[in-house]
């Protein structure tokens, strides 16, 4: 090495050092986080890193990586730092404007796609759409369905519009509505991931979750205030064969199904996510509507 040439750590050493830094700051899965950040900086796939461990980072890349690593250590979500998240094969922009799309919600969409098979619902409403992850994934899977995406937050809808444009799904309808306030017509399927965190539990949530909009988290004293409003108003927008599908909290599935039944919904069932947590509720419109 020539005199005056700065020593440059191999990529693997940089990865190890960053992992240790994140671990000291309480970041779970620190190694995986660092791999994602490093791949993001280098513009490659995470798995490609294993073929490049002997390389050294350019100073400009190293400086960018330091900044991202510091922000991750301070609790900024990985998805916000990367800018996008994969959801059922769709690349969606993810930032502070809406709830980060999560694997549980991805599994709910997968359940619905398999449930309807080759006979998808003609009209679908994604209530409290946030980033648009549910409605856009269903619109992609069901190209003949009419899909409406609604949310009370204009910021969230800006993100929904961005993701819609990126995916080229110009046929979906996007509108601002406080639950069913501005919704007209009926839908064969209304699917929703409403705010369901009890307000008293929000201060104890992880640093990352607290970066999500409070509007997307706060479900009132027991977490089910908005869910109950939704179930009360939904029947007026369902045909006789219409269904609702909800994602709720880890201990709210059966309480939600029982409340739906008390309102006249029938064939109510609770389904578990991949971790065995019963958080999905499916129910058919009340017969009396």
* Residues in binding site for S-adenosyl-L-methionine: 151, 193
For the chain, what's the residue count? 289
Q: What are the phi and psi torsion angles at 176 (to 5°)?
A: -90, 125
**DSSP classification of residue 88:** T
CB contact set of 153 (below 8 Å; sequence gap of 6+): 97, 98, 130, 176, 213, 215, 216
Q: Which residues on adjacent β-strands are paired with residue 192? A: 127, 246
By C-alpha distance, which of 259, 257, 266 is closest to 285? 266
> CA 211 to CA 75: how far, in whole Å?
8
Angle between helices 154-167 and 133-141 (to 10 degrees): 30
Q: Which residues of 116-148 are buried (b: 16+ CB within 10 A; e: fewer)?
A: beeebbebbbbbbbbbbbbbbbbbbbbeebbbb
Structural Rg of the chain based on CA atoms: 22
> CA 35 to CA 209: how far, in whole Å?
21
By C-alpha distance, which of 187, 192, 186 is closest to 227? 192
Return the residue matching tokens 């045909």: 239
Which residue positions form the known binding site? 151, 193
């Amino acid at each position: 090495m020539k005199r005056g040439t700065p020593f440059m750590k191999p990529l693997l050493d940089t990865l190890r050092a960053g992992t240790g830094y994140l671990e000291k700051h309480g970041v779970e899965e620190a190694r995986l986080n660092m791999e994602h950040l490093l791949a993001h900086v280098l513009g490659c796939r995470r798995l490609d890193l294993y073929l490049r461990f002997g390389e050294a980072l350019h100073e400009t890349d190293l400086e960018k990586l330091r900044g991202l690593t510091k922000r991750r250590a301070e609790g900024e979500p990985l998805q916000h730092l990367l800018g996008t998240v994969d959801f059922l094969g769709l690349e969606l922009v993810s930032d502070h404007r809406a709830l980060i799309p999560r694997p549980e919600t991805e599994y709910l969409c997968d359940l619905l796609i398999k449930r309807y098979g080759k006979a998808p619902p003609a009209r679908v409403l994604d209530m409290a759409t946030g980033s648009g992850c549910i409605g856009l994934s269903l619109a992609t899977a069901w190209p003949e369905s009419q899909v409406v995406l609604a949310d009370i937050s204009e910021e969230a809808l800006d993100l929904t519009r961005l993701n819609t444009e990126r995916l080229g799904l110009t046929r979906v309808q996007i509108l601002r509505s406080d639950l069913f306030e501005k919704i007209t017509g009926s839908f064969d399927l209304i699917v929703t991931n409403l705010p369901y965190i009890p307000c008293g539990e929000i201060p104890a949530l992880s640093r990352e979750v607290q970066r999500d909009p409070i509007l997307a988290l706060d479900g009132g004293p027991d977490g089910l205030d908005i869910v109950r409003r939704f179930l009360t108003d939904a029947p007026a927008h369902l045909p006789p064969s219409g269904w609702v599908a909800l994602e709720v909290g880890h201990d709210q599935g059966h309480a939600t199904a029982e409340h739906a039944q008390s309102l006249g919904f029938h064939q109510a069932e609770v389904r578990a996510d991949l971790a065995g947590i019963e958080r999905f509720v499916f129910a058919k419109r009340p017969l009396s509507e």
